[in-house]
Chain A
Amino acid sequence: EAGVAQSPRYKIIEKRQSVAFWCNPISGHATLYWYQQILGQGPKLLIQFQNNGVVDDSQLPKDRFSAERLKGVDSTLKIQPAKLEDSAVYLCASSSSTQETQYFGPGTRLLVL
């Protein structure tokens, strides 16, 4: 069974630029999560989808971050414009339902200069 796929694995941009990350969850998984992991900290949930609907986006900085999961499968997280403090690893996770274990992808490491 293929795991959670994420791309790109690494991205370097300058502040005020835009960036997008892509996630393809495990086949059949209805629930998808995006986390932000700043160096030296644990992951922090940004947004949770159930199929193509948002369940929880209370910690998403909506002035600059957006996410979508239009067909209930893969998802895109965008930052526009990026700030220095957005430098982090962005992890995507999926689960078969909201009451099952989350499986994590390898992450996208973002460096904002």
Chain B
Amino acid sequence: AQSVTQLGSHVSVSEGALVLLRCNYSSSVPPYLFWYVQYPNQGLQLLLKYTSAATLVKGINGFEAEFKKSETSFHLTKPSAHMSDAAEYFCAVSERGYNKLIFGAGTRLAVHP
């Protein structure tokens, strides 16, 4: 069965520092992988997605993620954090394309001056 593990429910970084949010998945078939961001009192917004093409995926707001099959990982990174990046981030996996997304528990990112 497919599943997602996000290491660290809370991550805190300084403004300008590297952001690294970890995601490991389990899937019996080549998966589709997604990162979503959720700002307070808002719905989820797609940051980026991996759909079996390039393993390094670039998304919005300067975020990117790399699919590593050998490590079953899809970590999210951003070279320099902004205060506006403070939000909750969710990694999701699907064995059926864009359907039946299985979400991780989320990582809350705090950015301090």
Interface residues of A (CB under 8 A from B): 3-4, 40-45, 48, 55-56, 91, 93, 95, 98-107
Contacts and interface: CB of A to CB of B under 8 A. Distances in A.
A43 B90 contact: yes
Given A42-B90, A43-B90, A107-B43, A102 B97 contact: no
Given A42-B105, A102-B101, A106-B42, 12 more contacts: A40-B9, A42-B4, A43-B103, A44-B103, A56-B99, A56-B100, A93-B44, A98-B98, A103-B46, A104-B43, A105-B43, A106-B43
Contacts, number: 55
For chain B, the bracket of interface size reads: 20 to 34
B80 interface: no
5 contacts: A98-B99, A99-B98, A104-B43, A104-B45, A106-B42
